[in-house]
Amino acid sequence: MKVEASSSGHNMQPLLKVENLVKRYAKPSLADAREELLALNGVSFSIFPGTTLAVVGESGSGKSTLAACLACLESPTIGSIWYEGQDLVKLREPARRLVRPKLQLIFQDPASSLNPRWSVLEILLEPMVLQRNFSRKDNFTRQEMNERANSLLERVGLSPDIVRRPPTELSGGQRQRLAIARALALEPKLLILDEALSALDCSVQAQIANLLMELQNSQGMTYVFITHDLAMAAYLADEIAVMDGGRIVEQGAPEKILKLPQQETTRQLLAAVPRIARSAPPSVEQ
């Protein structure tokens, strides 16, 4: 359980403010009729710097769509995402490109988020190469880029002699560390972790979670932690938001959510948690 109360962040400005995000998909189904899918149905929240917001929900609740929108990989149909005074949704790509490195997404499957034909070094260098292509002032030399790659590896606890290897030769935990290292390449302020621990073994999950905590403590990293695992969320988060059907149905501090779940959804998620993880049995009657 997180020791720090979330109140410490309230005196500062939110890092990210999401207002009424709506995402509508026109899904062509087998029968060729246009079906509309409302993946996000009015999501609003704020995140404060140095904190972790966990977004918990079942599959289909809209979590991944939210992650994609936050990372600017998808555009919401309606809504705003405020970051440092700018609405990311309304930004045009050249300007948005400058902001992108600050909001990075870590994917669920470490195998598919790293190009198997590339080497570790190439994967780490990619953000810097891309940045170099965009802005004149961030002109890294080869030397600088290699050095930074090595220091990134160190920071996530990987040995520098894997640089020439392809990611297929790494374990799941190592790959996820590499994905985190890549995300850190251009000094992001916010990491969006889309089920980033779900595909890992339990012990590896703990290791990566600790790495993330350490990064937060030392650098003040902010996280949006998306998961279906309420126990993991309670362990890591300062605030939990429960999603269902594209909206946030309940939000609050972890203790509150775990002890006094208001919504049916929350209760079902809670019921899925093994007894050992809970601090107290949930109260059924209100």
Partner 1 sequence: MRYLLRRIGHAIFLLAGVSLLTFLFTALAPGTYLDEMRLNPQIAPETVAALRAQYGLDKPLPVRYVDWLNSVLHGEMGFSFAYNSPVAPLLLVRARNTLLLTITATLLAWAIALPLGVWSAERLGRLPDRLLSWGTAALMVIPDLALALGLLLFAVRSGWFPSGGMASLDMETLSALSTLRDLAWHMVLPVTALVLTALPLLVRHVRAAVAEVLHTPFLLAAVGHGIPRHTLLYRYALAAAANPLISLFGFSIGALLSGSLLIEVVMSWPGLGPLLLEAILSRDLYVVVGGILFSTIFLVGGNFLADLLLYWADPRIRTQSGVR
Partner 2 sequence: MSARRAFAKWLAALAVLHGMVVCAGFFAPYDPVDQDRKSPYLPPMRIHLVDTQGHLHFRPFVYSPRLREGSFDQYEEDTAEPHPVTFFQSGTRYRLLGFLPCRRHFFGVEHTRIYLLGTDAYGRDQFSRFLFGGQVSLLAGLLGAGLTLLMGLGIGAAAGYYGGWTDGLLMRLAELFLALPWLYLLFALRAFLPLAVSPLKAFFLVIAVIGMVGWARPARLVRGVVLSAKERDYVRAARGFGASPGYLLRHHILPETYSVLLTQAAILIPQYVLAEMALSFLGLGVPEPVPTWGNQLSSLQHYSVLVSYWWMYLPALFMVPFFLGYLGLASSLQEREEAYKIEAGVLGA
Residues that bind partner 2 (CB under 8 A): 68, 71-73, 93, 96-97, 100-101, 104-105, 107, 109, 111-117, 126-127, 130-131, 133-134, 168, 172, 179, 182, 186
- Residue number with CB closer to partner 2 (52 or 131): 131
CB–CB of 224/47 below 8 Å?
yes
How many CA atoms does the CB half-sphere of 92 hold within 13 Å? Answer: 1
Name the residue nearer to partner 2 (CB basis): 127 or 254. 127
* Beta strands 86-87 and 34-47, pairing class: unpaired
Strand order from edge to edge, sheet including 190-194: 103-106, 190-194, 222-227, 52-57, 239-244, 247-252
The CB-of-34 to partner 2 minimum distance in angstroms stands at: 14
Residues 211, 217, 220: CA angle, nearest 5 degrees: 110
Query: Pattern 106-145, binding to partner 1, x per CB under 8 A?
Result: ----------------------------------------
Least distance from C-beta 30 to partner 1, angstroms? Answer: 7
284 binds partner 1 (CB under 8 A): no
Asked whether the beta carbons of 14 and 40 are under 8 A apart, the reply is no
Asked whether position 3 contacts partner 1 by CB under 8 A, the answer is no
Rounded to an integer, what distance in angstroms lies between the CA atom of residue 180 and that of residue 194? 12
Would you say 35 or 84 has its CB closer to partner 1?
35
Q: Pick one of 3, 11, 26, 30: the residue that binds partner 1 (CB under 8 A).
A: 30
**Contact partner, 100, from partner 2, partner 1, none, Cβ < 5-8 Å per class:** partner 2
Cβ(6)–Cβ(239) below 8 Å: yes
Please report, as a single letter, which amino acid is at residue 70. Answer: L
| Closer Cβ to partner 2, 208 or 248, answer by number | 208
Give strand pairing partners of 16. Answer: 47, 83
Q: Shortest Cβ distance from residue 31 to partner 1 (Å)? A: 5
Residues 177/113, Cβ–Cβ less than 8 Å: no
Q: What does the block give as tokens for 113?
A: 């988020």
**Strand ranges of the sheet holding 78-83, from the earlier edge strand across to the other edge:** 34-47, 16-28, 78-83, 86-87
Residue 125: CB atoms within 10 Å: 22
31 interacts with partner 1 by CB under 8 A:
yes
Part in contact with partner 1 (CB under 8 A); list of ranges 26-34, 77-85, 164-172, 204-212 = 26-34
Q: Which is nearer to partner 2, 147 or 169 (CB)?
A: 169
Footprint of partner 1 on this chain (CB under 8 A)?
Answer: 30-31, 33
